[in-house]
Amino acid sequence: MSEERKRALQGIAAEALGHLAWLQDAGVREIPAPVARPGAAPRTASPQGAQAMRATSTPTPTSTSTSTSTGRPAAVSRPSGLNDKGCGSPPLLAIRQELGECTRCKLSGGRTTLVFGVGNPQAELMFVGEGPGADEDVQGEPFVGKAGQLLTRMIEAMGYRREQVYIANVVKCRPPGNRNPEPDEIEACEPFLRRQIEAVGPKVIVALGKFAAHTLLRTAIPITKLRGTWSTYAGVKLMPTFHPAYLLRSPDEKAKAWADLQLVMVELGKRPAR
Ligand code: SF4
């Protein structure tokens, strides 16, 4: 077996173990067997396929093609000098270019990188968090620290790859000391999130944590009461649930978060594990 194939298989095994660990923590005891679609070819995991699944967009000052959920390539001309993660379609790129090196609010003064988003530009499922933390500020991608790794396991447990969903935050620059974004900062940044949602066109948004849910739903109802109940944001069905960082601190709450995600899976026509 080639080293490349061995590494690809090790990566798949590590991801599968992470997926199972999340399900076990969430109290799942049974995973339904996949239902074969009539006429569907058997699935194989080639090293190239695994690599492609893991690929994320990287800033390059060239034109490129981004695969969409429909399989249609969307030609996107990369802006030079800007972090263009999450700009995999012309409408998303236009929003990113309009943001530019944004100074519309005071968070611009402390950021390393403007964190626009990441993922499939035509995803049916979108996750929205509060704002970038230290890791995200450096890497220019939402949810890449420990909480991000847990989010990735949650996404995979739902039957998606991280690359198949879209992830963004209410504000795109890191608040100093990881404080909550302030009203003027939200007011300046949220219109761009709203336009991102319109550009992606998800069927469902999952709001991650108290702050994202409160901001998007304009409410102060505790997340413990909001979670597990459908709401609407910008005309899209929205499910609030706990933030992965909170789940890292409170692992006993994972079962509740999994129950919320199962509601999302049913809404999107997927079979939840039990
Ligand atoms: Fe601009 Fe949003 Fe960053 Fe404020 S948080 S500087 S509005 S991109």
- Is the pLDDT at 178 greater than 70? The verdict is yes
User: Is the Cβ–Cβ distance between 149 and 123 less than 8 Å?
Assistant: no
Q: What is the pLDDT of residue 6?
A: 78
How far does the centroid of ligand 1 lie from the alpha carbon of residue 217, in Å?
Answer: 20
How far does the centroid of ligand 1 lie from the alpha carbon of residue 229, in Å?
Answer: 30
Q: Give the closest residue (by CA) to ligand 1 atom 2.
A: 189
How far does the centroid of ligand 1 lie from the alpha carbon of residue 109, in Å?
Answer: 10
Question: Which ligand 1 atom minimizes the distance to the CA of 131?
Answer: 5
Question: Which ligand 1 atom minimizes the distance to the CA of 171?
Answer: 5
Rounded distance between C-alpha atoms, residue 262 and residue 200, angstroms: 22
Q: What is the pLDDT of residue 47?
A: 39
- Is the pLDDT at 188 greater than 70? The verdict is yes
The confidence band for 80, taking pLDDT boundaries of 50, 70 and 90, is low
Query: What does the CA dihedral 120, 126, 132, 137 come to, rounded to 10 degrees?
Result: 0
How far does the centroid of ligand 1 lie from the alpha carbon of residue 141, in Å?
Answer: 15
- Give the closest residue to 272 by CA, choosing from 254, 256, 258: 258
Q: Which residues line ligand 1 (CB under 6 A)?
A: 99, 102-105, 107-108, 114, 171-173, 185, 188-189
CA–chain centroid gap for 247, Å, is: 16
Question: Which ligand 1 atom minimizes the distance to the CA of 185?
Answer: 4
Topology adopted by domain 61-267: Uracil-DNA Glycosylase, subunit E (3.40.470)
How far does the centroid of ligand 1 lie from the alpha carbon of residue 36, in Å?
Answer: 45
Q: What is the pLDDT of residue 52?
A: 33
Rounded distance between C-alpha atoms, residue 67 and residue 89, angstroms: 9
Q: Which residues contact 73 (CB under 8 A, 6 or more apart)?
A: 65, 66, 67
Q: Give the closest residue (by CA) to ligand 1 atom 6.
A: 108
Q: What is the pLDDT of residue 166?
A: 98
Question: For 113-145, what is each residue's pLDDT tens digit?
Answer: 999 999 999 999 999 999 999 999 999 999 999
Which of 98, 137, 172 has most ligand 1 atoms within 8 Å of CB, for mutation?
172
How far does the centroid of ligand 1 lie from the alpha carbon of residue 214, in Å?
Answer: 19
pTM: 0.79
Tell me the one-letter amino acid at 125: L
Can you tell me the mean pLDDT for 78-83?
Answer: 67
Q: Give the closest residue (by CA) to ligand 1 atom 4.
A: 105
- What DSSP line would sit under 62-117, residue for residue? SEEEEE-TTS-EEEEEPPTTS--TT--SHHHHHHHHHHSS--SSGGGGG-SS----
Q: Give the closest residue (by CA) to ligand 1 atom 3.
A: 173
The ranges assigned to domains in the chain are 61-267
Which of 97, 103, 171 has most ligand 1 atoms within 8 Å of CB, for mutation?
171
The confidence band for 14, taking pLDDT boundaries of 50, 70 and 90, is low
Q: Which residues of 23-59 are buried (b: 16+ CB within 10 A; e: fewer)?
A: bebbebeeeeeeeeeeeeeeeeeebeebeebeeebee
Q: Which residues contact 42 (CB under 8 A, 6 or more apart)?
A: none
Rounded distance between C-alpha atoms, residue 99 and residue 189, angstroms: 9
Q: Which residues contact 76 (CB under 8 A, 6 or more apart)?
A: 63, 64, 65, 66, 87, 88, 89, 90, 93
Q: Which residues of 216-237 are buried (b: 16+ CB within 10 A; e: fewer)?
A: bbeeeeebeebbeeebebeebb
The confidence band for 33, taking pLDDT boundaries of 50, 70 and 90, is low
Question: Rounded to whole angstroms, what are the CA distances from 207 to 32, 55, 232, 261?
Answer: 26, 25, 11, 11
Q: What is the pLDDT of residue 225?
A: 97
Question: For 232-242, what is each residue's pLDDT tens digit?
Answer: 998 999 999 99
Q: What is the pLDDT of residue 79?
A: 55
Q: What is the pLDDT of residue 119?
A: 97
Q: Give the closest residue (by CA) to ligand 1 atom 7.
A: 189
Question: Which ligand 1 atom minimizes the distance to the CA of 105?
Answer: 4
User: Is the Cβ–Cβ distance between 89 and 76 less than 8 Å?
Assistant: yes
- On average, the pLDDT of the chain sits at 83
How far does the centroid of ligand 1 lie from the alpha carbon of residue 103, in Å?
Answer: 6
Rounded distance between C-alpha atoms, residue 269 and residue 265, angstroms: 6
Token pair, residue 65, equals: 């093609």
User: Is the Cβ–Cβ distance between 87 and 65 less than 8 Å?
Assistant: no
